[in-house]
Amino acid sequence: MAGILKAERLGQFIGALSRGERKYFREKHSATGGQKVYLEIFDYLESHPGCSNSEFLVHFQGRAFMRNPASAGHYLEDLLCQSLESYHRHGVGNLSIHAELQAAKTLAIRGFNKQAIKRLSSIEKRAEAQSEWHLLAEALWWKSKSVARNADSVDMLEEVLKLAQKRQFVVQQMEVALRWELKHVEFLQRIFKQGVDDAASHLVEFKEWVSLHAAETEGNFDARYFQLWILGRISRLERNAKDTLQYRRELLLHVETKKDWSLINPTPYITILSNLGSSALELGDESVLDFVLSKMKEFDSLDPDQSKLSRLLSCFLRLTHLVKNGRFQPATDMIPEAIEAYKQGGHMLVKINQAVVMYYFAFVQFVGRNYRETLRWLLNIEQDLNPRDNLDLICTARLLRLIVYHETGNHDQLGKQAREVAAFLKREAAEKQFELALCDYLGGQRDKSQQIENKALTDLLKSFPGASTFHQGHLKAWVEAQVSGKKLEQILLPAKG
């Protein structure tokens, strides 16, 4: 009877529990009258590591449950397993699966194979449903090991074989996901190291690869995630706003198919929302923008760092929305709030996105004729951003700085800086004819008559490219304001209808 009890092994199981797991078990059973005896056994075994069967029998001699100590031991094992499951069920998404896997491994390591298999089967189903391939592979390995220890029949051996075959399939899925992740990283590297223009020149190569491997993303969450990300970026580089919005919408819907993905991966999720909001702004889709802003607000009560990021990006979307709709006074009023949000969360953005935010700060204050602050933010962009990261934005920032010198009558600084900017454009962006022409105009217009100046500006507009970025459009708007005599705010008003 004593040998069947196996008090030492049960004590080892209790000793393998974490402090939190033990505390949870004790709290759960302390108020349960009929189970208090098992809490008493638990406390004894916890305080007497290595307790032998004979020591256990002597200590509890005469107690009612000692008529069948083995049964009491088995029941305590069941209570411990139930407590472990309940304790780890409070986790989130794959964090919960991971925690339960650790508990199942504890059971397997201690030789509680039957209980381990039961728990691992549950973990297997959950991990497979959520395409958590790494967790699934580990769960299958431990399940196979536990089953193999009891493989005393042909049926058991067949089960081990099935588990091995399933693990092989999971490894293949992991390889597919890794292949897409590597292509995603290669794309990012192309953008961040070689620059946006270089990445754009290799789009055919990336599109062919994506098309060739598209079928393998079926049923693979991670591969599909990276596929949608790449397709959205390709569309963005091709300046296809409609397709960009569609891919970004699909990406959001995709990640929301996995339970608690946004809580486990808050920064990527907030970034996905922000990108979708930017696309909605570009196409004037107010309903999508409102949806994005409401989703971002949900992060206000969560982790402080993530709430800082969500507040910054939400603030930036609202500021951009005001600018796009020509509402510059409300945008100017919002600048202090936006700058404070940037101070709190700007460090969480990559340099390219930092520069875009700073450009909006500069442009809003330029329209409001706060030229000192305009120059401060423009100089920050030029100091922080490598031209290869976003050549369009750097060119616009430098030309807008020349325009500030022009507006403030600082001709000495204008002449000197115009020569430097012209040299930069010829060296780095010789294809940007509009920017080059604007730079030449600003650098040499001091002594021109009004008539000659207007003709030069009119000719300048003819060199404006058909396809342009939003900041190139700001340069064009300034030129149009000079030709027409209207205020810049009037030129920037969106067309009706």
CB half-sphere exposure, 220, CA atoms < 13 A: 27
d(CA 65, CA 399): 88
DSSP 46-84: HHSTT--HHHHHHHTTT-GGGGSHHHHHHHHHHHHHHHH
Residue 92 is given by DSSP the state -
Q: Which residue has the higher pLDDT, 204 or 378?
A: 378
d(CA 386, CA 428): 12
Q: Which residue has the higher pLDDT, 377 or 300?
A: 377
d(CA 431, CA 451): 28
By C-alpha distance, which of 280, 302, 279, 300 is closest to 290? 280
pLDDT of 196 strictly over 60: no
By C-alpha distance, which of 139, 76, 132 is closest to 103? 139
Structure tokens at 446: 């001091």
d(CA 138, CA 404): 61
By C-alpha distance, which of 279, 282, 270 is closest to 311? 270
Residues of each domain in the chain carrying CATH 1.25.40: 350-497
- What pLDDT shows up at residue 2? 40
d(CA 277, CA 283): 10
The CATH class for the domain spanning 350-497 reads mainly alpha
Alpha helix (H) residue ranges in 298-346: 304-324, 328-345
By C-alpha distance, which of 485, 10, 389 is closest to 197? 389
Residues 6+ apart with CB under 8 A from 91: 97, 98, 99, 100
The predicted model scores a pTM of 0.71
Asked if residues 40 and 46 have their Cβ atoms less than 8 Å apart, the reply is no
Crossing angle (nearest 10°) for helices 433-444 and 391-407: 20
Mean pLDDT of 91-99: 64
pLDDT of 4 strictly over 70: no
Mean pLDDT of 210-228: 93
Amino acid at 496: K
Distance of CA 233 to the CA centre of its chain: 15
Q: Band of the pLDDT at 310, cuts 50, 70, 90? A: very high
